Amino acid sequence: MEFYGAWRVLSTLSEGNFGCVHKAVRAEDKTPGALKTIPIDEARAKYGKMNSTITLWNELAIHSECEHPHIVTCLQTFTVGNDACLVLELMTSDVLTEVLEHGAMTEAVAFTFTSQIISAVAYVHSQGIAHRDVKLENVMRAPVIKKSEDVFKLSDFGLARKAELYAGCRTLCGTFEHVAPEILNVQSTSGSYGQQVDMWAFGISLFKVLTNDLPYEGRTQDFNPQIRKGQVCFPKNLSGSVNYCIQNMLLFQPHERVRANAFDFALIKDFASLSECIFAIRTHTKTFQSAP
């Protein structure tokens, strides 16, 4: 029987480059949790002492401070010997696994996914943070409470950093298929990027849940020049409303992309009304910019 602090390990859920995630239970009250353990010395050996230390404590600090109904709740952070530990609420599965096993989502479910995760991203941005790794593996489905209710939550703040809307970051990081053009171009342009990389990444994620594919042509090794230029393609089987929403998330210029905080999802019920809202924002912006 293995313990980390007050948490008893029941089984291993996953193993990655940066530690393991275990299914665990708090001994005193049987609260379930997902216990992420990160060997500090291995992280330092692989990523360098300075970078690994910043990444480790950054994830622990940022995630523990984020409180939102569509962000996986951090229950506890602590260290045990050589391990940094992060305990999160236990989720059912990640969305990528669902899509790979069961196929693409319907537009109705995908809209629920969109409204909930964009609201989470908007909250993260309001805290002055760029997540920098929005992808289906980092969106979790919560255990079902009501049979007809879908609840999705954003997780994994390992790459999150303090940033402004368009500036503040220069590190080449993220998951390749989801990275925004400005991330790949940052070193050649001597510039920086900001929170809007998350909207690009979400646009890729939304495309994937609806098609089980990516908006690029060819094989993975062919994606780099397409991403750098912001070249994406759309299938004909998506509705016009969905295409319009995704297109406005995948605009090459970060300042032209729709912002996460632009929407009141209490008033937006489907992709049709979301696309109308985006169109109204676009029209208002152009009118404002052209006004004398």
Mean pLDDT of 181-203: 93
Residues 132 and 200 in one domain: yes
Residues 60 and 185 in one domain: no
Q: Sign of the CA dihedral 200, 201, 203, 207?
A: positive
Q: What is the pLDDT of residues 87-121, one digit of tens each?
A: 999 999 999 999 999 999 999 999 999 999 999 99
Domain containing 178 equals: 93-290
Predicted pLDDT of residue 41: 82
Residues 285 and 163 in one domain: yes
Predicted pLDDT of residue 32: 96
- When divided into structural domains, the chain yields a total of 2
Domain end (from 69, 88, 107) = 88
Residues 144 and 280 in one domain: yes
Residues 170 and 269 in one domain: yes
Mean pLDDT of 184-212: 93
Residues 140 and 214 in one domain: yes
Residues 166 and 283 in one domain: yes
Burial class (CB in 10 A: 0-12, 13-18, 19+), 32: middle
Residues 114 and 101 in one domain: yes
Pairing type for strands 129-130 and 152-154 reads unpaired
User: Residue 4: which residues within 8 A CB-CB, separation 6 or more?
Assistant: 24, 35, 37, 80, 83, 85
Q: What is the pLDDT of residues 232-277, one digit of tens each?
A: 998 888 999 999 999 999 999 999 999 999 999 999 999 999 999 9
Which contiguous run of DSSP H or E holds residue 80? strand 74-80
Residues 227 and 102 in one domain: yes
Mean pLDDT of 284-288: 56
Predicted pLDDT of residue 58: 76
Q: What is the pLDDT of residues 14-33, one digit of tens each?
A: 887 668 999 999 999 999 99
pLDDT at 231 over 90: yes
Structural contact between residues 85 and 36, judged by C-beta atoms closer than 8 angstroms: yes
What is the CATH number for 228? Answer: 1.10.510.10
Residues 112 and 193 in one domain: yes
Strand order from edge to edge, sheet including 139-141: 93-94, 139-141, 152-154
* CA 230 – CA 211 distance, rounded (Å): 19
Per-residue pLDDT band at 290 (split at 50, 70, 90)? very low
- Higher pLDDT among residues 292 and 2, named by residue: 2
Domain end (from 68, 88, 108) = 88
Q: What is the mean pLDDT of the chain?
A: 90
Predicted pLDDT of residue 147: 63
Predicted pLDDT of residue 149: 82
Q: Which of 44-53, 221-230, 271-280 has the lowest mean pLDDT?
A: 44-53
* 116, two tokens: 């909930």
pLDDT at 292 over 50: no
Residues 84 and 97 in one domain: no
Residues 103 and 23 in one domain: no
Q: In the chain, what percentage of residues exceed pLDDT 90? A: 74
Predicted pLDDT of residue 184: 94
What is the CATH number for 15? Answer: 3.30.200.20
- Higher pLDDT among residues 207 and 190, named by residue: 207
Domain end (from 44, 73, 88) = 88
pLDDT at 10 over 90: yes
Predicted pLDDT of residue 285: 64
* 24, two tokens: 């665990």
